[in-house]
Amino acid sequence: MVKNKSRVLIIDDEEDIRLSLRGILEDEGYEVMDAESGEQALAVINRSIDLVLLDIWLPGMDGLKVLTRLQDKYPDLPVLMISGHGNIQTAVQAIKNGAFDFIEKPLSLEKVLITAQKALEFSNLRRENRNLRLSTKSPQIQKISGKSRAINELRQIIDQVSPTEAWVLITGENGTGKEIVARSIHMGSKRADQALVAVNCAAIPEELIESELFGHEKGSFTGASGSKQGKFELADGGTLFLDEIGDMSLKTQAKILRILQEQSFERVGGYKTINVNVRVIAATNKDLHKEIKNGNFREDLYYRLNVFPLTLPPLRERSDDISLLLSEFVDQLSQEHNFKPLSFSADTTKILKNYPWPGNVRELKNFVERLYILYQGMEVTPDMLPGEFGNKDLQTEMSDNLFKQGQDLPQDFKQARSKFEAWFLDYKLKEYEGNISKLAEAIGLERSYLYRKLKSYEISSE
């Protein structure tokens, strides 16, 4: 279950103060933990803590040192300092060092509640502002675009699964928008106000992936100059997105499986068990059934992740969405770079709808960017398309008009060649507006031979 109330850690060596604070905070619905020293607090604290009440004078490590350690490890965690009358100057110094505020002893419980509420509101606002800045900087369209039946069905499924805690396995070809779907699921979930942490499993070297996922302690390997939180720990309370999960080594898969089952782990080089609460969304462009059969993917991990399967359609199966996507990408690039509008002729759009788009939506976006560089402010016609598109209008015309769905199909190769020659010469002659000389030069035939061919097929140049 997602936590639905804030968690507070009290750090004070006076038991009476800890009991008083615990009582008033629990009465207000807070979940409370306490520690009598800085060392004890640092041993138990994790990302699930939302607020810290910290006494300045502590046995062993004092409050200022504890504050510094907390700031280094959890920079967004609000800390309220508890100060005696003689420690006001020190408390002010603590605020300069990152504390949210300080409360004087003897404690006013009413002031404790008001200040705690303000600290939590400020922390939430800061996190929301940061997420907003990140989203506005992103060049990608962070929504599922399209009006085709396949996309409408996909949106409906996302709306159904998002509010649940079910883990989701997204499959689909490269460029179909798996990360956008993952973000849509997260934003529609009860965890939307927490972090979504994405991990590209294919981009991390095998020797570093454990450190990336689980974190490491100082000195655990060469180059580990300090402790580091892993992606699982950073995603505590939120969502962990494991992209390209099919590219993980079997060794890492085994460790991932254990952690997914137990929701606990140790950092690399560490001995302390860290407990987390994460929702996992995984994605891959591979056929995991085939990978399991070939011994490249663990079957038990597959069934652990595949609670709710979601398959994304390739762009070629929803070609009706291409016009809308072109329009969206054009608008986006125009706004981002102050480009003059780019447009596509009807013939060009027809060609683009018939192109297979092996790179899917990502390829289409890159294609629009390339054309913006070449033809900013112009209408793109078929002859302006890059070479890989070929003469798509010719191919489309041929497929539409030569042999319609196998009707009148010739019985042998000679008849098929004659039928194609007749269609081809008629098509090209119209293209050159009946000029036989230009046509002969363009297709590499002698004029007299071309004339005889046209006559034999009863093709007129008029």
3-state secondary structure the chain: CCCCCCEEEEECCCHHHHHHHHHHHHHCCCEEEEECCHHHHHHHCCCCCCEEEEECCCCCCCHHHHHHHHHHHCCCCCEEEEECHHHHHHHHHHHHCCCCEEEECCCCHHHHHHHHHHHHHHHHHHHHHHHHHHHHHCCCCCCCCCCCHHHHHHHHHHHHHCCCCCCEEEECCCCCCHHHHHHHHHHCCCCCCCCEEEEECCCCCHHHHHHHHHEECCCCCCCCCCCEECHHHHCCCCEEEEECHHHCCHHHHHHHHHHHHHCEEECECCCCEEECCCEEEEEECCCHHHHHHCCCCCHHHHHHHCCEEEECCCHHHHHHHHHHHHHHHHHHHHHHHCCCCCEECHHHHHHHHHCCCCCHHHHHHHHHHHHHHHHCCCEECHHHCCHHHCCHHHHHHHHHHCCHHHCCCCCCHHHHHHHHHHHHHHHHHHHCCCCHHHHHHHHCCCHHHHHHHHHHCCCCCC
Considering the chain, what percentage of its residues have pLDDT values greater than 70? 88
Residue 209 scores a pLDDT above 60: yes
Q: Residues near 223 by Cβ (< 8 Å), separated by ≥ 6?
A: none
Residue 75 burial class via C-beta count within 10 angstroms: exposed 0-12, middle 13-18, buried 19 and up = exposed
pLDDT at 6: 83
Tokens of 196: 């979504």
pLDDT at 86: 55
Predicted TM-score (pTM) of this structure: 0.60
Q: Which of 79-88, 90-99, 192-201 has the highest mean pLDDT?
A: 192-201
**Closest-CA residue to 198 (of 223, 216, 180):** 180
Strand-pair category, 168-171 with 308-311: parallel
Residue 413 scores a pLDDT above 80: no
Residue range 218-238: mean pLDDT, rounded? 80
pLDDT at 261: 85
pLDDT at 298: 94
Confidence of residue 47 (pLDDT cuts 50, 70, 90): confident
Average pLDDT, the chain: 83
Question: Rounded to whole angstroms, how far apart are CA atoms 230 and 212?
Answer: 5
Residue 305 scores a pLDDT above 60: yes
pLDDT at 139: 41
Of the two residues 382 and 140, the one the predictor is more confident about is: 382
Residue 414 scores a pLDDT above 80: no
Tokens of 26: 């629990």
Residue range 75-86: mean pLDDT, rounded? 80
Question: Rounded to whole angstroms, how far apart are CA atoms 447 and 425?
Answer: 13
pLDDT at 385: 86
Residue range 323-334: mean pLDDT, rounded? 91
Confidence of residue 398 (pLDDT cuts 50, 70, 90): low
Tokens of 418: 């004659």
Tokens of 398: 């041929």
Q: Please write the tens of the pLDDT for every residue from 134-172.
A: 444 444 445 788 899 999 999 999 999 999 999 999 999
pLDDT at 402: 55
Question: Rounded to whole angstroms, how far apart are CA atoms 258 and 180?
Answer: 28
Residue 393 scores a pLDDT above 80: no
Residue range 270-297: mean pLDDT, rounded? 91
Question: Rounded to whole angstroms, how far apart are CA atoms 225 and 236?
Answer: 24
Least confident of 233-237, 274-278, 419-423: 419-423
Domains, the chain, with CATH or none: 7-134 (3.40.50.2300), 153-311 (3.40.50.300), 315-395 (1.10.8.60), 406-456 (1.10.10.60)
Strand-pair category, 168-171 with 79-83: unpaired
CB contact at 8 A, 43 and 67: no
Question: Rounded to whole angstroms, how far apart are CA atoms 288 and 294?
Answer: 10
Least confident of 194-198, 214-218, 245-249, 444-448: 444-448
Q: Please write the tens of the pLDDT for every residue from 238-264.
A: 999 999 999 988 888 988 888 888 888
Of the two residues 304 and 431, the one the predictor is more confident about is: 304
pLDDT at 129: 62
- Sign of the Cα torsion 127, 130, 136, 137 reads negative
Q: Please write the tens of the pLDDT for every residue from 341-379.
A: 889 999 899 889 988 888 899 999 999 988 888 888 899
Residue range 306-325: mean pLDDT, rounded? 93
